[in-house]
C-alpha cells in the first residue's frame, strides 16, 4: 500500500529535475543566461577579443560589462582609446605600469580611458587592467610596434648663429632647462575631463612642415621632434584644440613664446614659437579660443606653429591623437 505514495514522490522529483534542466540548458543557437545570483568576479578574454565578440557564455558576460579597444596593435606615437560599457562604473585602469584615468562619455555614458604610446616606448606586449566598482575586473593585452621616423639636419640660419645658437647649446638648453620647466608645469594631474566635445585642429589650414618623431642631427648633437610643425603666415590665429586651463604661458630661449593647455585626464596641448601670447597662466579657455598668433620666436627657421600633445609623460603624435580619439571614442 506504501508503493503508490513512493511512486508519486519519485514522479514529482523527476518532473522537477526536467524543469530545472530546461531552465539552465540553452536551446540550440542561444547564449547561456546566467542566473542573477551568480556573481562574475573577473572577465579575462582571450588575446584579440574586443568588446562582446566571443560567442556563448563568454559573450553573455561581456554584454553586462563589455570593453573595446580602438586597436590592440599600436605604433609608437599612437593613442589607445579604451571604452567600457555604462553597465559598470570603472574604478581604476592601467596599461603596463601607467595608470589610465577614465571619464564618462557625455553622449552615451560609456567610460573612456586614453593611453599614450610615447615615441620612445619600447616595442612589445603590455598588459591592460581595468577594475570596476562592483569588484569585477577585465584583463587583456596590447602590442606596441616600432615606427620608422625620418632623420634630418638640425639646421641653423645665419641670423640664429649671429644670436648665439649652436646645435650643442640648443640640445642642452632644451633637455636640461626648458623640458624640465614644462614637466614641472604639468606634474599635477587633473583627473577629471575638462572638455565635453571632440578635439579640433589648432589652425584653420593645416600644412605640415615638420613631421612628428623626426630625428634632427648635427654632429654629435641630436633631438627628436615630439610634435608637428605647421606652416602658416606670421599672425595667423592659433586656437585651443579643446576646452581646458592654461598651465603655462611664457617665453623660452628655444621654444619661444609658449602656451600649454591642460584638458584634464593628463592630456595637454602645447603651442610653441608664437609671435604673441593672448592668454594668461591660470585662465580657462574654450575650444576654438585664440591662444596667440603664429610666429618664429625662439629656435625657429621661419614662422610656423609647433603643436604637441602629451598624455601624462607620453609625447604622442598630435594629429593622430585628434583622429584616433574622435574615431576610437566615436565622438560626434
pLDDT in tens, 103-124: 988 667 789 999 999 999 999 9
pLDDT for position 99: 96
Domain boundaries, the chain: 57-145, 151-328
Note the pTM of the prediction, 2 decimals.
0.80
pLDDT tens profile 169-182? 999 989 889 999 99
pLDDT for position 55: 34
Pairing of strands 137-145, 73-75: parallel
In CATH, what class is 57-145? Answer: mainly beta
pLDDT tens profile 256-273? 999 999 999 999 999 999
More confident residue, 206 or 28: 206
pLDDT for position 14: 52
- Give the angle subtended at the CA of 314 by the CAs of 313 and 316, to the nearest 5°: 150
pLDDT tens profile 133-154? 988 899 999 999 999 999 999 9
The least confident of 8-22, 212-226, 255-269 is 8-22
pLDDT for position 59: 32
CATH of 151-328, one of 3.40.50.1970, 1.10.3720.10, 2.70.70.10, 3.30.420.40: 2.70.70.10
Q: Which residues pair with residue 311 across a beta bridge?
A: 267, 314
pLDDT for position 42: 39
Output the CA–CA distances (angstroms, integers) from residue 322 to 119, 157, 242, 300, 309, in the order listed. Answer: 16, 33, 10, 25, 9
User: Phi then psi for 331, rounded to 5 degrees?
Assistant: -80, 145
- What average pLDDT does this structure show over 222-229? 95
Same fold for the pair 57-145 and 151-328:
no
pLDDT for position 175: 86
- What stretches of the chain show up as alpha helix (H) in DSSP? 3-24, 57-64, 158-162, 167-173, 179-185, 318-328
Measured CA to CA, the distance from residue 45 to residue 83 in angstroms comes to 15
pLDDT tens profile 37-49? 222 233 444 333 3
Going by C-beta distance under 8 Å and a sequence separation of 6 or more, which residues neighbour residue 80?
A: 69, 70, 71, 74, 95, 114, 115, 116, 117, 142, 328
Amino acid at each position: 500500500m506504501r508503493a503508490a505514495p513512493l511512486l508519486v514522490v519519485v514522479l514529482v522529483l523527476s518532473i522537477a529535475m526536467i524543469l530545472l534542466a530546461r531552465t539552465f540548458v540553452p536551446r540550440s543557437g542561444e547564449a547561456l543566461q546566467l542566473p542573477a545570483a551568480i556573481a562574475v568576479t573577473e572577465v579575462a578574454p582571450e588575446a584579440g577579443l574586443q568588446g562582446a565578440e566571443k560567442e556563448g557564455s563568454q559573450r553573455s558576460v561581456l554584454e553586462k560589462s563589455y570593453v573595446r579597444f580602438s586597436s590592440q596593435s599600436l605604433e609608437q606615437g599612437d593613442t589607445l582609446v579604451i571604452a567600457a560599457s555604462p553597465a559598470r562604473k570603472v574604478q581604476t585602469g592601467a596599461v603596463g605600469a601607467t595608470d589610465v584615468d577614465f571619464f564618462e562619455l557625455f553622449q552615451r555614458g560609456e567610460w573612456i580611458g586614453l593611453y599614450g604610446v610615447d615615441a620612445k616606448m619600447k616595442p612589445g606586449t603590455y598588459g591592460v587592467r581595468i577594475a570596476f566598482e562592483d569588484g569585477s575586473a577585465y584583463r587583456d593585452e596590447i602590442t606596441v610596434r616600432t615606427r620608422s621616423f625620418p632623420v634630418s639636419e638640425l639646421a641653423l640660419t645665419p641670423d640664429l648663429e649671429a644670436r648665439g645658437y649652436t646645435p650643442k647649446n640648443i640640445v642642452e638648453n632644451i633637455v636640461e632647462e626648458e623640458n624640465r620647466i614644462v614637466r614641472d608645469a604639468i606634474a599635477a594631474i587633473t583627473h577629471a575631463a575638462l572638455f565635453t566635445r571632440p578635439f579640433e585642429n589648432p589652425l584653420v589650414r593645416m600644412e605640415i612642415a615638420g613631421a612628428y618623431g623626426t630625428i634632427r642631427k648635427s654632429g654629435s648633437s641630436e633631438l627628436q621632434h615630439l610634435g608637428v610643425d605647421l606652416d602658416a603666415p606670421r599672425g595667423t590665429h592659433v586656437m585651443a584644440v579643446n576646452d581646458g586651463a592654461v598651465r603655462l604661458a611664457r617665453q623660452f630661449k628655444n621654444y619661444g613664446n609658449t602656451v600649454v593647455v591642460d584638458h584634464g585626464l593628463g592630456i595637454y596641448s602645447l603651442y610653441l614659437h608664437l609671435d604673441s601670447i593672448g592668454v594668461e597662466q591660470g585662465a580657462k579657455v574654450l575650444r576654438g579660443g585664440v591662444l596667440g598668433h603664429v610666429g618664429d620666436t625662439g629656435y625657429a627657421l621661419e614662422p610656423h606653429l609647433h603643436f604637441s600633445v602629451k598624455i601624462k609623460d607620453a609625447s604622442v603624435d598630435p594629429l593622430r591623437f585628434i583622429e584616433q580619439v574622435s574615431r576610437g571614442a566615436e565622438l560626434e
